[in-house]
Amino acid sequence: MHLQLVPWLTAATLCVTLTGICSSSTLSTVSDADRIVSLPGQPKVCFSQYAGYITVHKKQQRDLFYYFAEAEADPRSKPLVLWLNGGPGCSSVGIGAFSEHGPFKPSGDVLRKNDYSWNKEANMLYLESPAGVGFSYSVNNSYYISVDDKMTAKDNLAFLRNWFKKFPEYKNRDLFITGESYAGHYVPQLAKLIVQSKLFNLKGIAIGNPLLEYNTDFNSRAEFLWSHGLISDATYKSFNTICNFSQIIRQRWSDALTPGCSHVLSEALREISNFVDGYDVTLDVCLSTVSSQSAVLNKPQETEKIDVCVPEETVKYLNRKEVQEALHARLVGISRWTTCSSVLKYEMQNLETPTVPILGELVKSGIHVLVYSGDQDAAIPFIGTRTIVNKLAKQLGLNTTVPYSVWFEERQVAGWTQVYGDKLSYATIRGASHEAPFSQPERSLVLFSSFLGGGPLPEGLLSESAVRNNHINITWS
């Protein structure tokens, strides 16, 4: 699904496959009820899959839905990674698992194998949070009226506590928490609670195109659009002198655009047109990416549903009765599964609460923090994110240990990176969108693998002589 411009502004067992022998773990009988025998239309695989519910509040009957894919090979030696999508209010199962870096992607009536699935490197746990998102629910509907970051973090911690009771084999495993977009709030806040509770073996967090600091993140949009030729010099000046993006978004939440802000927005829309995708300005519109989570950042909760484009493959797949039965999922209080919640009323004022100080606390406590950006995203542009990370490093008194430089995926530049001290790092993914693993799956997998391993990103394989011999023109002067 791709959005039009207007919304984004606002005892190991063995199995044999055709490729040889692979292994998957056999977990305790406690988790047997959640084991997925096979998803409709999926190819044969060796790894185990699980899905179901974890209760986070018995009195309100609040249950969070998860999908868990063990590592493709040797899951006992691999870490556990929790993935959270943003919104706020969008699905980690529908976006992260089935559209970005899960083991399969829907294609018509079948699932096709994702060659760049993150469960090649880790045991992947996808959580639909908070309740009201995807298949997660609360029987007490009053819960949905006003959900905030504090409530979400508390429920996510409760989820992990109880999930580990069902999967005790993973309780002492190295744990990493990852996510994107509004997970710039979800991930640090959950990580902070884990550090305070000293419950789990948290090693690091990674957040992509995250909302970290409201004004800096949103106001970097104007420079990004201008530098990419999408708006004129005059409109760029207007964003800097009359009304900036943070003001526009704030006013749109209250449905009260001032004349000045309305004029600036109208001019920007006219110049950009309705045929450029704000979540990847290099892509044509209506390509198969998942962007709806991002638009929630720009719209009040009471506005009409976001108009999205093709494809609807994931939505169609997850709404098939046989698929829901295979996933042990149920619809409670809703008639259809949706990518982003239609019942949850999130406290949007939380967007203005910076999470950068929490990142600093995590670094000080010894948690590895990776912040990365798909560099073609105009929703949360790398310009603002890079500025925020640089400022944080200075505040923490961290010296640059790896200067700003390119990193590679095979023989091509995959992005740029900078490392501060030994716990804070930043990277861009070249040519990637807001949902970087969707648009640049190979490069994203390389970044993910390096993050888990705690090693540097790959350096280039081409020597100067190889460049000359291959007649590659890299002249800049």
Contact in structure between 342 and 315 (CB atoms under 8 Å):
no
Contact in structure between 298 and 249 (CB atoms under 8 Å):
yes
- Active-site position among 181, 238, 294, 433: 181
Residue 233: burial class (beta carbons within 10 Å; 0-12, 13-18, 19+): exposed
Structure tokens given for 291: 């962007």
- SS3 call for 92: helix
Nearest to 212 by CA among 394, 381, 9: 381
Q: How many CA atoms lie within 13 A of 188 on its CB side?
A: 25
Report the run of H or E that residue 39 belongs to, with start and end.
none
Q: Whole-angstrom Cα distance, residue 167 to residue 32? A: 10
Instruction: Please give the angle made by the CA atoms of 330, 335 and 337, to the nearest 5 degrees.
Output: 65
Q: Give how far Cα 21 sits from Cα of 48, 73, 75, Å.
A: 15, 10, 14
DSSP conformation class of 426? E
- Active-site position among 425, 434, 444, 450: 434
Q: Whole-angstrom Cα distance, residue 311 to residue 314? A: 8
* Helix-then-strand count for the chain, H and E: 15, 15
- Active-site position among 63, 277, 375, 377: 377
- SS3 call for 415: strand
- SS3 call for 351: helix
| 181 belongs to the catalytic site | yes
Residue position matching structure tokens 């959005």: 3
| 377 belongs to the catalytic site | yes
Listed in sequence order, the residues at least 6 apart from 231 whose beta carbon sits closer than 8 Å to its beta carbon are 222, 225, 239, 267, 268, 271, 272
Nearest to 56 by CA among 125, 145, 124, 139: 139
| 148 belongs to the catalytic site | no
Which residues form the catalytic set?
Answer: 181, 377, 434
